[in-house]
DNA sequence: TCGCCTTGTTAGCGAGCGTTAACGAACGGG
DNA sequence: CCCGTTCGTTAACGCTCGCTAACAAGGCGA
C-alpha cells in the first residue's frame, strides 16, 4: 500500500516510519482536538497528560506545541468550537422553522444529533468550562448564554404565561437531560434513542 | 469565647491554636468527605490536591492519612455513601408508597431533595466513578444499578407496554435532568425549582 | 542548489503531586 | 503518674507533569 510521505510519522527510535492511522489527514489541529476531546471526556482535563494526547494520534507529546500554545489552549479552542457550533446551528434551525412548535422541535433535534454524534464533545462541553483560562472563558459563556436564550425565546412564545427565569431553568434542565446521553449510551438502537429523547425533552419543556 | 480543647487545631508554626470553624465537631472522616466533595465537584478529582482538602478543614495535607488510606479511598468512600443512600432511600420510599403513581412521585421527590440539598455529592456521583479503584468500583456500580432498577420497576407498572431497555434509557435521561440542577443552580426560589423539576421529570418519564 | 519554514524529535528543567517517615501534644485508663 | 493511643505536625522522597530548548528531516520557492 502506497502512502503519501506527509502521512508518515517520523520517529528514528521506532524504526521505519509508519502510516498514520486515522481520519485521512485533515489538519493536525483538528486531529489533536478530536483525540483530546475523547480523552478529556473519559478522564477529565487534569487526568490527561500532554503525552497521552500525542500518543493518541501517533506523535510524541511536545509536538502539540507546534499547533497550540499549551494544554489549556487545546481545551479553550475545543469549547469555543462547540459553543459556536451549537449557537450557529441553533440560529440556523430557528430561522428555517415556521412557528414556535417547529422551532422547538428543530432545536431539540439539532441538540440530539450533536449529543449522539459527538458524545465526547458534549461531555467536555458541560464539565470542563472551569478549566478554561479567563479571556476565552467569558467568550464561551457568552456563546452558551446566547444558545440558551434561543431556546428561551422559542419557548416563551409557546408558554407566554411563564416567567423568563423559570423558562431558563427549564431549558437548563432539558439540556441536562439531552447531555446525559453519552453516559448512559448503548442499550437502545440509535433511531429509537433519538426519538425517545426528543419526546422526553419536548414533554419536559412543556410541562416545566 | 470558650471552646473545648479538642476543637483546637495544633500548629506550632501558626502561633496560637485556633478554633475549628465548621460543623460542630462530627467525626473528622465526615468532615473530610464533605470538604472533598465540594472540591471534587468544583475542580474534578485530579484537580484537587491532598493539601487542598486539608486546608479546607483547617489541617495540613497529610493529616488525611490518619483517616483514609489515600486520596482514592476518599473518593471511593464518598461514592459508596451516596450510592447506598440513594438506593436505601429509594427502597424506603417505594415501600411506603401505595401504587406506582405515588411510588414514582416519591422517587422523584427523593432524588430532587438530594440533588438540591447536596449538589456537590450529586455532581461527583455522576462524574467521578471512573477514578475509583477496581474493587469498590464494582460495588458502586452494583448499587447504582439497583437504584435504577427500582425506577424501572415502578415505571414498568405504569407503562407495561414499553420494553425494559427503553425504560432504562428513559430513567437514565430523567436522572440526567435531575442531576443537572447543581450546574444551573440559582435563578429560581427553592420551592418553585423543586416543583418544576418534579413536573418535568414526571412528564419526561411518561412521554419517553 | 541553497536556505527557510514547517513539523517533528529527544533531553531536561522546575514545579507540584501523593505518599511515607519521624516526631510531638493532648487525653484517658491502669 | 505514666504510658499508650489518637491525631495532628514538618520534612523529604520519588514520580509525573507542562513546558522549553536544541536539533533534524522534508518540502518548496528564489
Checking if the pLDDT of A5 tops 60, the result is: no
d(CA A26, CA B147): 44
Of A127, A170, A146, whose CA–CA distance to A87 is shortest? A146
CB A74 within 8 A of CB A159: no
The secondary structure element, H or E, covering residue B35 is helix B28-43
Q: Count the helix, strand and coil residues of chain B and give each as a percent rounded to the nearest 5.
A: 75, 0, 25
Checking if the pLDDT of A22 tops 90, the result is: no
Q: Is B184 helix (H, G, I), strand (E, B) or coil?
A: coil
| Position A125 in a domain | yes
Cell of A162: 411563564
Checking if the pLDDT of A2 tops 60, the result is: no
Q: Concatenated DSSP letters for B66-130?
A: GT-SSHHHHHHHHHHHHHHHHHHHHHHHHHH-SSHHHHHHHHHHHHHHHHHH-HHHHHHHTT-GG
Q: Does B179 touch chain A (CB under 8 A)?
A: yes
d(CA A45, CA A48): 6
How far the first Cα of chain B sits from its last, in Å, is 58
- Judge: B176–A176 Cβ closer than 8 Å, yes or no: yes
Q: Does B185 touch chain A (CB under 8 A)?
A: no
| Position B87 in a domain | yes
| Position A92 in a domain | yes
CB B48 within 8 A of CB B40: yes
| Position A156 in a domain | yes
Which chain B residues are Cβ-neighbours of A47 within 8 angstroms?
A: 44-46, 131
Select the residue of B168, B177, B196 nearest A187 (Cβ to Cβ).
B168
| Position B133 in a domain | yes
- The total of structural domains in chain A comes to 1
Site of grid cell 502521512: A7
| Position B114 in a domain | yes
Which chain A residues are Cβ-neighbours of B120 within 8 angstroms?
A: none
Of B196, B168, B169, B164, whose CA–CA distance to B180 is shortest? B196
Better pLDDT: A15 or A62: A62
pLDDT tens for A66-98 read: 999 999 999 999 999 999 999 999 999 999 999
- The pLDDT value given to residue B26: 65
- The pLDDT value given to residue B19: 36
* Arithmetic mean of pLDDT, A105-124: 97
Q: Which residues of chain B have pLDDT under 50?
A: 1-25
Which chain A residues are Cβ-neighbours of B201 within 8 angstroms?
A: 204
pLDDT tens for A158-208 read: 999 999 999 999 999 999 999 999 988 778 999 999 999 999 999 999 998
Site of grid cell 490536591: B49
B207 Rama sector, left if φ>0, alpha if ψ -120 to 50, beta otherwise:
alpha
d(CA A140, CA A81): 9
Select the residue of B172, B188, B204 nearest A169 (Cβ to Cβ).
B188
Q: Specify the DSSP class assigned to residue B20.
A: P
Cell of B119: 449538589
| Position A19 in a domain | no
Checking if the pLDDT of A7 tops 70, the result is: no
- Judge: B130–A43 Cβ closer than 8 Å, yes or no: yes
Q: Specify the DSSP class assigned to residue A70.
A: S
| pTM for the model | 0.88
The secondary structure element, H or E, covering residue A18 is strand A18-19
| Position B123 in a domain | yes
CB B79 within 8 A of CB B128: yes
Based on C-alpha coordinates, what's the Rg of chain A?
Answer: 20
CA dihedral B195, B200, B206, B208 (to 10 degrees): -160
Nearest chain A Cα distance for residue B188, angstroms: 7
- β B8-9/A8-9 pair status: unpaired
- The pLDDT value given to residue A206: 98
Partners of residue B18 on adjacent β-strands = B9
| Residue A5 contacts strand D, CB under 7 A | yes
| Residue B48 contacts strand C, CB under 7 A | yes
Structural domain harbouring A114: 76-206
Cell of A65: 506545541
**The 3-state secondary structure of B134-146, one letter per residue:** HHHHHHHHHHHHH
Of A117, A110, A112, A80, whose CA–CA distance to A94 is shortest? A110
Site of grid cell 420551592: B191
- Judge: A173–B183 Cβ closer than 8 Å, yes or no: no
Checking if the pLDDT of A10 tops 70, the result is: no
- The pLDDT value given to residue B189: 93
Checking if the pLDDT of A12 tops 60, the result is: no
* Arithmetic mean of pLDDT, A114-121: 97
Domain with residue B174: its CATH number is 1.10.357.10
Q: Is A180 helix (H, G, I), strand (E, B) or coil?
A: coil
Amino acid at each position: 500500500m502506497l502512502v503519501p510521505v506527509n502521512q508518515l510519522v517520523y520517529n528514528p527510535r521506532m524504526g521505519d516510519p509508519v502510516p498514520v492511522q486515522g481520519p485521512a489527514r485533515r489538519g493536525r489541529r483538528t486531529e489533536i482536538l478530536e483525540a483530546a476531546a475523547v480523552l478529556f471526556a473519559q478522564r477529565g482535563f487534569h487526568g490527561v497528560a500532554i503525552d497521552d494526547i500525542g500518543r493518541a494520534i501517533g506523535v510524541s507529546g511536545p509536538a502539540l506545541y507546534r499547533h497550540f500554545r499549551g494544554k489549556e489552549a487545546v481545551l479553550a479552542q475545543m469549547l469555543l468550537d462547540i459553543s459556536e457550533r451549537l449557537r450557529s446551528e441553533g440560529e440556523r434551525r430557528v430561522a428555517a422553522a415556521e412557528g414556535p412548535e417547529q422551532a422547538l422541535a428543530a432545536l431539540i433535534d439539532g441538540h440530539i444529533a450533536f449529543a449522539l454524534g459527538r458524545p465526547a464533545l458534549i461531555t467536555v462541553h458541560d464539565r470542563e468550562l472551569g478549566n478554561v483560562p479567563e479571556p476565552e472563558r467569558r467568550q464561551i459563556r457568552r456563546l452558551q448564554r446566547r444558545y440558551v436564550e434561543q431556546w428561551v425565546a422559542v419557548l416563551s412564545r409557546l408558554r407566554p404565561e411563564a416567567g423568563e427565569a423559570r423558562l431558563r431553568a427549564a431549558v437548563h434542565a432539558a439540556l441536562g437531560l439531552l447531555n446525559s446521553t453519552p453516559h448512559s449510551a448503548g442499550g437502545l438502537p440509535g433511531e429509537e434513542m433519538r426519538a425517545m429523547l426528543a419526546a422526553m425533552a419536548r414533554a419536559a419543556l412543556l410541562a416545566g
